[in-house]
Amino acid sequence: MTLTIRPRRLRRTDTLRQMVRETTLDTADLIAPLFIVEGRDIEKPIGSMPGQAQLSVDRLDREIDSMRELGIPAVLLFGIPAHKDAQGSGAWDEAGPVPQAIAAIKRRAPDTVIVADVCLCEYTDHGHCGVLAGPGQGDVLNDPTLELLARASLAYAKAGADIIAPSAMMDGQVAAIRAGLDAAGYSDTPILAYAAKFASAFYGPFREAAESTPQFGDRRTYQMDPANGREALHEVALDVAQGADMLMVKPAGAYLDIIRAVRERYTLPLAAYQVSGEYAMIKAAAANGWIDERRAVLESLTAIKRAGADMIITYYAKQAAAWLR
């Protein structure tokens, strides 16, 4: 039998494979998350996320320098305050860890794009993403939380954040933040909406890193049901209508279909978050010799890009950037 069509012809050599490659992963696609704590001279390893650590502001210079050398263009900041309360008031404290980190990074590397995550879970003593109906009650009040998210967003914009990224999954949060920023003269500050954020089992290590585990209940009343795809597109449509400048799907690996669906319907820049559990699983499997870490990481990131993401938030940003070089 004579075959005229042989796809393997274009796979024979590495150079040929590169020439016909459909999806290209680049360091410029990566955003590195950082966990900022109050205090000095702190670099506290995160047990469930090997290679990651909580950092105090005075320990940021070396980290930012290494990212600049690798060509990583952006960081995503999470703050862990020394003291927490029921409202999460540390989230809008201008002397808090995130505003201080923003100022330090801008002094060290003015061109680094700083994305400030906006949520209350790291700042509340109960670990939920908004204010509660009462002590010990797990019902998060949507509308009173919006005002607090807007206050935190303004504090980060004043400190010099380039992008505000609300992740609390409160209805109307993009509109409330947009109105608050515009009224204060920050109409040029873009909003990256965590538009489709699912109540995922893959967030476990993050809660250790951000010290944000709910003291009771869970977040399924405001984060999305993992079974719902059409609802994700509804959530995205609402954020677009409220003025989101960029969109995000979180997590990434188990939600490639959502990334693809959003990409097909919207032209706004699209980010995807390879979350802590995805990172931890690859690390654990690699540590046991079960997979090739480098190939697994680059394959997973390429898949996220292939699905339609323009930007990828990943704890592997530094390692991936080094490998790509």
Q: Which residues are identified as catalytic?
A: 197, 250
Residue 77, judged by CB atoms within 10 A of its CB (0-12, 13-18, 19+), counts as: buried
8 A C-beta contact, residue 251 and residue 205: no
- What are the E-state strand segments in the chain? 30-37, 43-45, 53-56, 74-80, 113-118, 163-166, 192-197, 246-250, 270-274, 311-314
Question: How many Å apart are CA 37 and CA 202, to the nearest integer?
Answer: 23
Question: How many Å apart are CA 295 and CA 324, to the nearest integer?
Answer: 11
Question: How many Å apart are CA 8 and CA 46, to the nearest integer?
Answer: 44
Contacts of 228 (CB under 8 A, 6+ apart): none
CA dihedral for 40, 104, 162, 298, sign (positive or negative): negative
CA dihedral for 264, 265, 269, 273, sign (positive or negative): negative
DSSP 8-state symbol, 225: P
CA dihedral for 299, 33, 182, 193, sign (positive or negative): positive
Q: Three-state DSSP class for 46?
A: coil
Question: How many Å apart are CA 1 and CA 233, to the nearest integer?
Answer: 48
8 A C-beta contact, residue 51 and residue 94: no
